[in-house]
A and B are shown apart, each in its own frame.
Chain A
């Protein structure tokens, strides 16, 4: 294909823009669709990043007409979009909105869907490019994938060749299986219909600005890389704390638990980005290669009883409100063994990180909602001060705050003003949200745009998913054989066993 003379790499005002396409959204009645996906689509349109003719097809069981779905979209955009509502932008979007009613088992509905997208190609010039976003429970994946194949929606063989050949992409959300075997099963089912490069696994954490900034910080500066290793780093803590309980997710959550829900995907991805070597470039291939290398180097503790902790929240006071315990939640069996808190100590078998523990923890009903990566540095080998002068000096730390209040904090010692020499910890703060960001794109905006453009660096590949399960499976097996998770009162920072886990190493968790 001829290069487009209107594009110039130096011309950075012109944004990346997807070509004409249709986004088919399964599960439009879900929370994710109304709170995140539909608003993100509007925001993309409002920023001028969606192509002319872009069309959106909703698929669900509800008895809706196109207009009903458009109304639902309109309402969710008005409530949740980050950019101001503008009638002409909505107008542009509205013209391309369609709805197909049906059940996943209903052949007729998928035939209607195939007809609908073909009509859109004719009416709006979307060129046979379709992305299928499966915002549905994983047990529905096989039937939907099968239907896409049966109705011919997944194939592009009938169309012309060359660069103009239309594309098909499928987007799935976690969980990518519940262990290695099921992840492989899911993958082989997908792979039978879509080639690997057409499968986009969304981990919305990777769309967050701070997470991408982690790469910028590590690899565009000279300041951090020399100390980013076992010579200077004492240990790393990666935390994702939630203040909410399981809410309406009982059916999904019970039997899955915190480790499968959060550690397998979000926290291990954050670990990979924190610990990986410098990629050759930010092309998908190089980035994934480095992530896979580091995930393959991860070792679980030899003694799992000492190197892991799991808990379940009990009735307690969280933020001034008394909340029920996990076992009292609606839809949870009274003897559930599912953990709502999980912590694990990992080490990396490579030259850079040998002997440096990475502590991962996640939990529900903790005091605050907070996700961060904290790199804690070793103490200075010698302090030319009296012990009393440095009593309040802790370890230097670099904290990447992923959410909320995105930013970076550097903690170091400073002299307390006064006639005596006294050193105390202070923080230097870069608040990302102070704000490059009133209108910085939401993670889903970035990820949806990448799907439509076909740009994969921020999406984990099957190999990464399998490597993560390889790490977690033995831990889950160990837990399954063991007694119930330790109870911790809601609103506290997790079970005592988690604190003991760090205390054995002479360390402590950062305060939540």
Chain B
């Protein structure tokens, strides 16, 4: 069900939300979180779509904040979607003029009470997410440096402004790799002496993986540049021969260990909805990310 409201107020939106809930027989009752999406008109479609997909696992009230022409007069337009194949409700908020500087005043009254808040910047990344008005509200603040024009700089900036509760989707993308690496390391009997992470040039996930391996194993790991897509190879150096995981096509990886047959592992690149769903699974600070991010500043840039 779609409700379009132009030049409206938060009080009217609240009333409309309650009305749609009653008409739909109460689909908003099982909401487990509020998801605020900071986006623009060009990004909102994909972002909201991803949020609705993730919403099947985590029913949420999605509040998409779309900033429009800042020179216009202040105006609020809203679009309420509910029951479109996903639980929860989605409200698109279009903010015109000076109002866009005060998005928190629009969002606050629309949050489901007693329910955690997650803010996701789908687009521009603020230097200090937790200092943003809509970041302060949130238990979790999600950014995506892979979408930034200069991901490495963006990561460094986030590192400087990190507060517990921050997280970045480029770290989420590392989870399948990290699981596979941890499982591989379970089977190793000798120590890892160092290694290499090979990936396309601008890839914050590879940067984070490199520092994570360096920090956890306390041995040097180098970041190498390849043609991609994404991460193409991770090599663990050991006295008895290297263990490599190579994934040239972004889908199927090959795990090679000396003295053992090669094995295939499905390691596809996940879409945004998948990443978001993983992100929403836990709302407490991710300390391991915090540590890796802190170390990212100290790592030399990728060797050419």
Residues of A whose CB lies within 8 Å of any CB of B are: 2, 4-8, 10-15, 17, 19-20, 45-46, 48, 51-53, 86, 88-89, 91-92, 95, 122-125, 127, 164, 429-431, 434-440
Contacts and interface: CB of A to CB of B under 8 A. Distances in A.
A41 to B, nearest CB: 13
B57 A435 contact: yes
B263 A125 contact: yes
A13 B178 contact: yes
Contacts of B180: 48, 52
The bracket for how many chain B residues form the interface is: 35 or more
Contact of B266 (A86, A431, A439): A86
Nearest to B268: A88
B12 interface: no
A179 B202 CA distance: 66
Contacts of B265: 52, 92
Contacts of A430: 30
Q: Rank and list the top 8 A-B pairs by shortest CB-CB distance, nearest first.
A: A438-B56, A434-B30, A89-B266, A52-B263, A6-B182, A88-B252, A88-B266, A11-B288
A15 B263 contact: no
A466 to B, nearest CB: 36
A123 B263 CA distance: 9
Contacts of B252: 88, 91-92
Given A14-B175, A52-B265, 14 more contacts: A6-B182, A6-B216, A13-B175, A13-B288, A46-B266, A52-B183, A53-B263, A89-B268, A92-B264, A124-B263, A125-B257, A164-B189, A435-B57, A436-B57
B26 to A, nearest CB: 9
Contact of B288 (A8, A51, A124): A8
B45 interface: no
A47 to B, nearest CB: 10
B198 interface: no
A4 B288 contact: no
A88 B251 contact: yes
Contacts of A89: 266, 268
A1 B259 CA distance: 21
B268 A123 contact: no
Contact of B179 (A17, A88, A125): A17
B255 interface: yes
Nearest to B26: A429
Nearest to B188: A4
19 contacts: A5-B218, A7-B186, A10-B287, A13-B286, A14-B175, A17-B186, A19-B183, A46-B266, A48-B176, A48-B266, A52-B263, A52-B265, A88-B252, A89-B268, A92-B252, A122-B261, A429-B29, A434-B29, A439-B277
Interface in B93-141: none
A4 B187 CA distance: 9
Contacts of A19: 183, 186-187
Interface of B: 29-30, 32, 56-59, 87, 172, 175-176, 178-187, 189, 191, 213, 216-218, 251-252, 255, 257, 260-261, 263-268, 277-278, 282, 286-288
Contacts of B179: 13-15, 17, 48
A5 B185 contact: yes
A2, A6, A20: most-surrounded residue (chain B CB, <10 A) = A6
Contacts of B267: 48
A434 B87 contact: yes
Given A8-B216, A89-B266, A435-B87, A14 B282 contact: no
A125 B261 contact: yes
Contacts of A95: 264
A429 B218 CA distance: 50
Contacts of A5: 185, 216-218
Given A4-B182, A436-B57, A86 B268 contact: yes
A123 B261 contact: yes
A439 B261 contact: no
Contacts of A10: 287-288
B158 to A, nearest CB: 18
Contacts of B59: 434-436
Contacts of B87: 434-435
B38 to A, nearest CB: 24
Given A8-B216, A20-B187, A14 B182 contact: yes
A440 B189 CA distance: 35
Contacts of A125: 257, 260-261, 263
Nearest to A2: B191
